[in-house]
Structure 1
Amino acid sequence: MSKKVLILGHSFVRRLEQFVINSVDSRVNENLNLDCDEVCVYYRGHSGASLQRIRALGISYVRELRPDITIIHALSNELCKRDRTVDAVFREMVDFVISLRYGESVKSVVILQTLHRLAPVRRIRYGVNVHWFNSRVDALNDEYKQSG
């Protein structure tokens, strides 16, 4: 029986899935070049999703798929909100991981590093100050490193 890997998050995960599905590069496939007999990868990405929404949807996906490993790429949408502190966002993620590990019995939960944003080359709908945002990303990633 193959191991199930759930990649969960916001638009980055959705775009990653689109990239691997539509890639013409023979080195890229939906299963991330992992042996399909050993590993099955599922993507669940939701554009603009808050951690609260990712958590609600993620719990239902976990109950449906019963993954061995859940990989989470989230929080950049939270970091755009001025009323949210980095510490509060970090604690919400930790709480989500605990609920997956101990409430839903996911064997391994991996949190991917939050990525910096580049300055947009054209006007975008939901612009935030890139330097401010990236400083919050650095603070969040430091929290991850310190937590081990």
Structure 2
Amino acid sequence: MNLGLDKSREHVLLRGYPGGNLEKFKKCGLDYMKLCKPEIIVLQIGSNDLCNSTNSVQDVTRGIIEVAMKLRFCLEVKKVIICQILHRLSPQKRIRCMVDIKWFNKRCDELNSFLSHYFRENRMDNLSFWKHSGFWSERSKQFAFCNDGVHLNINTGYPKYYNSIRAAVVSARKS
């Protein structure tokens, strides 16, 4: 759908890595970005890394910052936006990778706080942190997520997420 942007001026590519993490992105995603040479990259990354208890929140934070720096300064992407990681809910069904939700959400809040502070304090040229809106109240979470508690649902979650990503891209184009 090209994020509803003018197709004659912008071409939006969406790329996901099922079960992806920072290492997978470094191995596959960076090469893909070299080929595509995008002007703007919006990254939703780090959630799966937070699920792994052997990864400290600080290590995941450093990994995300490292990826952002490589994209911006080595691959010369004009604008790199790192998105806030969303909370998870208790699953309504058995899922493959169960994590303690309170533990995960606490780590999520800590990582988002670190990233927000880092990008605000360092004000690096064309690197930013994007805060999603509409996902944080208990009511909005219940309406936005699938019954696995991890993925967004088609009816409410993805439209909200789509609008947030579109806003991030439009904001990046203006600045």
Q: Which bracket does the TM-score occupy, shorter chain normalised? A: 0.7 to 0.9
Measure, in 1, the Cα distance between the counterparts of 2:10 and 2:29: 19
Give matches, 1:23-102, under 5 Å: 30-102=1-73
Once the two structures are aligned, what percentage of the paired residues are identical?
A: 36
Measure, in 2, the Cα distance between the counterparts of 1:134 and 1:75: 13
User: What is the DSSP-based 3-state SS (H/G/I as helix, E as strand, rest coil) of the residue aligned with 1:111?
Assistant: strand
Quick check: which one's strand share is greater? Answer: 1
Q: 1 or 2 for the larger relative contact order (CA 8 Å, sep ≥6)? A: 1
1:50 deviation in Å? 1.6
The runs of at least 4 consecutive aligned structure 1 residues that moved more than 4 Å come to none
Measure, in 2, the Cα distance between the counterparts of 1:55 and 1:41: 21
After superposition, the CA RMSD in angstroms is: 0.8
Quick check: which one's helix share is greater? Answer: 2
For normalisation by structure 2, the TM-score amounts to: 0.66
Measure, in 2, the Cα distance between the counterparts of 1:125 and 1:66: 35
Moved more, 49-58 or 82-91: 49-58
Q: Count how many residue pairs are aligned between Structure 1 and Structure 2.
A: 119
Alignment gaps of 5+ in structure 1: 1-29
Measure, in 1, the Cα distance between the counterparts of 2:89 and 2:109: 14
1:49 deviation in Å? 1.3
Alignment gaps of 5+ in structure 2: 121-175
Which of 98, 107, 111 matches 1:140?
A: 111
Letter of the 2:84 partner, please give it.
Q
For normalisation by structure 1, the TM-score amounts to: 0.78
**Could you give the per-residue CA deviations for residues 8-28 of structure 1, whole angstroms, max 9, x where no partner exists?**
xxxxxxxxxxxxxxxxxxxxx
Which of 92, 97, 111 matches 1:126?
A: 97
